[in-house]
Chain A
Amino acid sequence: MVNVDSLVGRNSLHRKVQRSLRIQKLRALGLIAPLFIFILISFVIPIGDMLFRSIENQLVSEVLPRTTEYLKSEQINEGWEPPDELFWHLYIDLAIATEVKLHTRVGSRLNYEKTGISSLFRKTGRSIKKFGADDYSKALSEQMPELASIDYWELLSQGTSEKYGYTRDTYNTWKKNLIANDHWSEKTKPSDFLFVVLANDIKSQEIDSSLDASREEKLLPVISELPEIGFKERFLDTDEDWAEPDVWDTIQLYSPSFTNGYYLNSVDFKKGSDGPKIRPENERLYVLIFSRTLFMSVTITLVCLLLGYPVAYFLANLPLKYANLFLILVLLPFWTSLLVRTSAWKVLLQNEGVINDILVATGLISNLERLELINNQTGTIIAMSHILLPFMILPLFSVMKTIHPSYVRAAKSLGATPWTAFRRVYFPQSIPGIGAGSILVFILSIGYYITPELVGGTTGTFISNRIAYHISSSLNWGLGAALGSILLAVVLALYWVYDRMVGIDNVKLG
């Protein structure tokens, strides 16, 4: 029989234990919290931000809301012609954007996808003031002076009448933009184009008996006397490119808030209205650089392994006091700046450099056939192998140190020649070190920047150099982020393959 009392007792005991465990867990969590926050701030958030930027594309639809909305339902192809109404929307969008210079940003954004758009937007931004809106504002304000004051427009924007929906909407966007960009003040005057919008709203609808009727009766005669502005002609006068379906196609393709365009660009594809297309031969770039990055990283890893293994073996079999001395020598390069070491390679490797001079002086090569050792892949591979070598030697050394000499002795006593003993007994036990060193060198080199930048010329640069270019020169952060994300994915994929083939528990970092 189960005693009810004891059952209750046990239950409360269980609860007590649970509570004390929970407190312990919380305390443990509290202890790691600083580290956790640090990792969050320094890794998770930047990587998340990078992934976000690589697909984010809100600028176009934010700055050109009416245009992109209208384009949504358009089928743009070779023979397509932009309709008048589209230019009306574009006029309002750009008029608002130019006041806070946003049009140049959209221009540069779209310029990444189609060259020429940037200058098109700048040009248009400069001339949009001269489209004739000033006539409207002058005439309307003369007829109705209160229109020149921002207060009247405030009142208008608070109204509810359906009729002035477009005006209200435009005014609010305009105001919001000015406020967001610190251009709004007490003294702000209503912009000229607002009068055009207002006139359009009044003109296009019946006069009814509403509260606004008096205003409409007052203004309508003036408005009907004013010349109609032909927006399409104005835009085309400014720049004929506005008639190009390609321009509109680009705007349409990049209207959504999120885009895969950056990724397509990263793999040499082009986003098109009928699906992604591979770029023509002469525009392809990134796949080549990605494969070059991979190839050079693998080469550097192999070179480091070939050079580092004997050194590590030598160090591991040295008495401790000498081993420490030599280890310091291995680490010595870390005491000088990376920049200095790389520059030293420039001195050594250049055409008139030390190595070529020696080769010529010893007669191994003639003066005319000096070796091209720098500003190409050879230069990058030589300099980076040198710089990353310690990262191969250290894990190898620490693993080899743990291989007791009695294993090789045992193999020899069992009849194995020194070579067999090495191959079948020593080498397999050093594999964790090879694994650790290789993965370290490979991952470091695949993302390396400074050295290839300095000694790589044009053929010896890595994808990271392109990323840096997009971040700091072309300012195409989205593309930089997409390239970075792909690099991250490649590294993770390789890590996965590596885990499958070698097993990650076969890696010993010390």
Chain B
Amino acid sequence: MNDKDNGFVVFSGVQKSYDGKILVVKDLNLSIAKGEFLTMLGPSGSGKTTCLLMLAGFETATQGEILLDGKPINNIPPHKREIGMVFQNYALFPHMTVAENLTFPLQVRSMSKSDQEKKVNHVLDMVQMSEFGNRRPGQLSGGQQQRIALARALVFEPELVLMDEPLGALDKQLREHMQFEIKHLHERLGVTVVYVTHDQTEALTMSDRVAVFNDGIIQQLDAPDKLYEAPDNSFVAQFIGENNTLEGTIESFEGDYVNVRLDNDQVISALAVNVREVGEKTLISIRPERVETEAERCPENAQKIIGEVLEFIYMGDVFRTRIRVGNNDEFIVKSRNSPSQQRLQPGQMVTLGCLNKDCRALDHQITSKEVLS
């Protein structure tokens, strides 16, 4: 990779196996710029925590190199890496008060008493927890504990902070609130953050870039909007946001586009993203909000897809219509509840319209295992 030189954190050809048989992380190449907010997103067991632990120094890479600020850190013990970490279960020391928890990293750095106090007060202010210094972690709510864990990871002013699903244990509202707080802290302090989550909304709202993990490899590394609008493969398309897939066979190539014959013999044109040859099976990915149920609302050059309405769901601001297209019973169309939007009846046949650049022809769900073999 050519950004290996300017990356603040660089994973280069990193592999990890716990048992010597199965590779939990397979050939990880990743470069994180200074001050960046990078999120590792992926389903459970995809190796996110493992990557974080290798970076923090609690696991060693089976192969490859990890560089921090240009220097390899494979042989530096964790306590010398100066990396702040927020754990999934917060790991606040239960036998110490909040203030003692925050003083701990300063004490081990032999900082003077007055400096310690200053820093602790400052960081408590920062997370709006000034009154709670004398409490024990057990006497705090989940959200408050989360803030203290965050404060503790920041109090010794590391340049890199790792967070492993820090909001996993919080309820939805608090989680959304904390997402903003973390984001703002990041912007204010300019630290580099590597954030792990399996909540895609969280990843999209907070990050500069998102690395989508599956099966130990990065499926796609991109900015949130790219990831959503231009997924590279079926996994990413499925994993990020809501997605409609249409199965078909490639008929012919036409510049950047391919013509795909669906099961119901309709031929539609789609952007050729992850396809190789004619006759190959493919999955076309279309976002539900990029489809119109009324052809007259579509732009001139929209292509038409025919389907049968199965269900109409009224959701207030939007309508969700479930339509059968070919043998896909789960084709969803999301339309805004505007005055002119018509409400479809089940059983009705409709002609759907969408632009061919919004249809992306992707791999036919070949799992990454098969790719490697």
Contacts and interface: CB of A to CB of B under 8 A. Distances in A.
Nearest to A405: B58
B82 interface: yes
Interface in B132-163: 152-153, 156
Interface stretch (A201-209, A265-273, A406-414): A406-414
Contacts of B94: 429
Contacts of A420: 108
B79 interface: yes
Interface string A394-429: 000000000010110111111111101100110011
Nearest to A431: B95
A424 B153 CA distance: 18
Nearest to B104: A414
Contact of B104 (A404, A411, A417, A429): A411
A87 to B, nearest CB: 75
B58 A409 contact: yes
B79 A413 contact: yes
Interface in B60-85: 77-85
A409 B83 CA distance: 12
Interface in A413-451: 413-418, 420-421, 424-425, 428-429
B9 to A, nearest CB: 15
Given A409-B58, A410-B85, A424-B104, A415 B93 contact: no
Contacts of B105: 414-416
Contacts of B79: 412-418, 421
Chain A at the B interface: SS class: helix
B89 interface: yes
A510 to B, nearest CB: 18
A422 to B, nearest CB: 12
B78 A410 contact: no
B257 interface: no
Nearest to B82: A415
B104 A416 contact: yes
Query: Is the contact region of chain B dominated by helix, strand, or loop, or is it mixed?
Result: loop
A71 B156 CA distance: 86
A415 B108 contact: yes
Contacts of B85: 409-410, 413
Contacts of A418: 77, 79
A406 B87 contact: yes
Report which residue of A411, A415, A428 has the largest number of chain B beta carbons within 10 angstroms of its beta carbon: A415
Interface residues of B, number: 27
Nearest to B93: A425
Contacts of B89: 404, 406
Nearest to A406: B91
Contacts of B82: 415
B113 interface: no
B56 interface: yes
A415 B152 CA distance: 12
A335 B271 CA distance: 73
A413 B84 contact: yes
Nearest to B100: A424
Interface residues of A, number: 19
A413 B79 CA distance: 5
A55 B91 CA distance: 57
Contacts of B88: 406
Nearest to A426: B93
B108 A416 contact: yes
A407 B90 CA distance: 9
A413 B78 contact: yes
Contacts of B369: none
Contacts of B95: 428-429
A407 B108 CA distance: 15
A410 B108 contact: no
B188 interface: no
B125 to A, nearest CB: 20
B177 interface: no
A404 B156 contact: no
Candidate in A410, A418, A424, A425 with the most chain B CB atoms within 10 angstroms: A410
B93 A413 contact: no
A249 B82 CA distance: 84
A505 B58 CA distance: 33
B21 interface: no
B172 interface: no
A404 B88 CA distance: 12
User: Which of A411, A412, A413, A416 has the most C-beta atoms of chain B within 10 angstroms of its own C-beta?
Assistant: A413
Contacts of A409: 56, 58, 78, 85, 87, 91
Interface string A284-315: 00000000000000000000000000000000
B118 interface: no
Interface string A458-484: 000000000000000000000000000
Interface in A337-353: none
A410 B82 CA distance: 12
B104 A413 contact: no
Contact of B108 (A404, A414, A428, A429): A414
Interface of A: 404, 406-407, 409-418, 420-421, 424-425, 428-429
Given A409-B87, A413-B85, 9 more contacts: A410-B91, A413-B79, A414-B104, A414-B156, A415-B156, A416-B108, A421-B79, A424-B104, A428-B93
11 contacts: A406-B87, A406-B89, A406-B91, A409-B87, A411-B93, A412-B78, A414-B79, A415-B108, A416-B108, A425-B93, A429-B93
**Across the A-B interface, the 6 shortest Cβ-Cβ residue pairs:** A414-B105, A410-B91, A413-B85, A406-B91, A412-B78, A428-B95
